[in-house]
Amino acid sequence: MKYLLVILIALAACGDDKLSVAELQDPNTCTSCHQTHYTQWSGSMHAYAADDPVFVAMNRRGNRETGGKLGTFCIKCHAPMAIENGTITDANAGDFDPTTLSPAERGVTCYFCHNVEKVVEDHNNGLVLANDQTMRGGAKNPVDSPAHHSKYDTLIRSNTNESELCGSCHDIVLPNGIPIERTFAEWKQGVFAKPDVHLTCGNCHMKPSDGLIADGPGLGVKSRPLGMHEHTFPAIDQALTPWPETAAQAQGIKEILEPAIGIVGPKPRTSNRAPGGICLYPDSRLTVRVDSLNLGHSFPSGSAFDRRVWVEVTAYRSDNSIAFQSGKVPDGVDPEVADPNVFGLWDRVYKADDSPAHFFWEIERVDSSKLLKGSITFDPNDPAFDHSVTATFNVANPSQIDRIEAQVHIRPLPFETLQKLVDSGDLAPAVLAQVKTLSPMYAHSTWLKATAGMPGSPAEFTPCNPE
């Protein structure tokens, strides 16, 4: 018995042969077996989250203007492991500097997502970590790893989860109860959350493909059908300072944004073809119909009060002179400043006195009526089937108009807010020049007088462009 006790004590002292929690928290540890995942992640907005200069500036100014009451509100989603490990607290949150953090605590790391044990809140990072040596994933019957214990977990598997792991950080509710980011809530109300459809955040933003999940020496991992999920997490934000994989990040944004929205007419019930979405009526009305194309949430989404989505439309006479124009916006200027009558899609936010709010800690009221809804139903007989928005303009002498060009433009951030951060010394001026204007290919359409209402087209008997 004495010898058995000695053996048991020795085994307990040795522990298992896996890496320590501290080692597993460092994303660099993952490169030996998950190099592809790491490379993709390193260029993502998840990796960039703590370094994003707008976040850093907002956190600094917000803590200063609220007398420290903002605390770790922003940081718990932008650098959650720094909160988890106690490196950042409410006491030092106002002095947040990403360069002082270790790789294990900088950004949204591998460990933070793959060590989630449960979700206790659907907003403001309600994720609880196990803080153990087990990495959770969506592959059934995972191969044993010399680095960590492995566990199949439906919470992280795209085709079985309810998007709650992603949604918990992508829905934000202010202390006053106002939801200012609602991507998860929007998804839950849409058609893709329904059991018979069920496309999750991961299905779209972590594109699956065949491939090796891990490729370390002697692992013996085999390729699984659709087992490899991209870790680029594209949306519309991109790095504003030098960062790895910027070309791949831009390409990912293009691939997910191009098919998201378009200028298109309503699809006739008797056909899969739809007219082009621009109509010019004899009574001087010019309309541009914008629709989301199988989108799982509203557009724009996320911090929709910061987004700027607008329609630029220009009508030309036969001599190419401009008969009408709206939404022509120069670089570095917000659309509502360049054109007070612009047709724009974003949340309007207000302070307690109903004046416009520029920073989220000022918000007391949100008007979300100016958003493009995502897909609610696939039933054409359901009133919710049409979730489009239509921009309507009044033009003079419509009979003189020969051609109309319309384009939807998108910016992730407003210049007026950024300039306020520059003026207060919280943001480097050079950042403003890095804000890109995105103009998706399918969100462009051309109307021609010569082909409007073309016989045999979906636009026949209408004043609209054929396709």
Residue for token digits 């994989």? 245
Does residue 138 share a domain with residue 284? no
In three-state secondary structure terms, 118 is strand
Domain boundary among 206, 240, 274: 240
Report residue 200 as tokens: 């999750």
1-30 per-position pLDDT tens digit? 333 333 333 333 334 799 999 999 999 999
Spatial neighbors of 406 by CB under 8 A, at least 6 apart, are 263, 277, 278, 288, 311, 312, 313, 314, 444, 445, 446, 447
Does residue 409 share a domain with residue 322? yes
Question: Does 147 reside within a domain?
Answer: yes
Question: Is there a contact between 366 and 349 (Cβ–Cβ < 8 Å)?
Answer: yes
Question: Does 227 reside within a domain?
Answer: yes
Does residue 356 share a domain with residue 326? yes
Does residue 430 share a domain with residue 385? yes
Domain boundary among 186, 208, 240: 240
* Total domains, the chain: 2
* Residue numbers of the domain that contains 331: 261-448
Does residue 267 share a domain with residue 204? no
pLDDT of residue 267: 82
Question: Does 9 reside within a domain?
Answer: no
Strand pairing of 134-137 and 149-152?
parallel
CA–CA separation, 298 and 296 (whole Å): 7
pLDDT of residue 16: 72
Question: Is there a contact between 21 and 131 (Cβ–Cβ < 8 Å)?
Answer: yes
Question: Does 388 reside within a domain?
Answer: yes
Does residue 294 share a domain with residue 424? yes
116-165 per-position pLDDT tens digit? 999 999 999 999 999 999 999 999 999 889 999 999 999 999 888 999 99
Q: Which amino acid is at 191?
A: V
Beta carbons within 10 angstroms of residue 139's beta carbon: 18
Does residue 276 share a domain with residue 212? no
Does residue 288 share a domain with residue 180? no
pLDDT of residue 211: 84
In three-state secondary structure terms, 156 is coil
pLDDT of residue 405: 98
Domain boundary among 177, 206, 240: 240
Question: Does 245 reside within a domain?
Answer: no
Does residue 320 share a domain with residue 177? no
Does residue 170 share a domain with residue 236? yes
Question: Does 5 reside within a domain?
Answer: no
Does residue 268 share a domain with residue 223? no
pLDDT in tens, the chain (467 residues): 333 333 333 333 334 799 999 999 999 999 999 999 999 999 999 999 999 999 999 999 999 999 999 999 999 999 999 999 999 999 999 999 999 999 999 999 999 999 999 999 999 999 999 999 999 999 999 988 999 999 999 999 988 899 999 999 999 999 999 999 999 999 999 999 999 999 999 999 999 999 889 987 777 788 888 889 999 999 999 999 999 999 999 999 999 999 999 999 998 777 778 899 999 999 999 999 999 998 999 999 999 999 999 999 999 999 999 999 999 999 999 999 999 999 999 999 999 999 999 999 999 999 999 999 999 999 988 999 999 999 999 999 999 999 999 999 999 999 999 999 999 999 999 999 999 999 999 899 999 999 999 999 999 999 999 98
CA 290 to each of CA 96, 166, 276, 300, 343: distance values in angstroms, whole numbers, following the listed order = 41, 28, 10, 13, 11
Question: Does 455 reside within a domain?
Answer: no
Does residue 314 share a domain with residue 403? yes
Question: Does 102 reside within a domain?
Answer: no
pLDDT of residue 1: 38
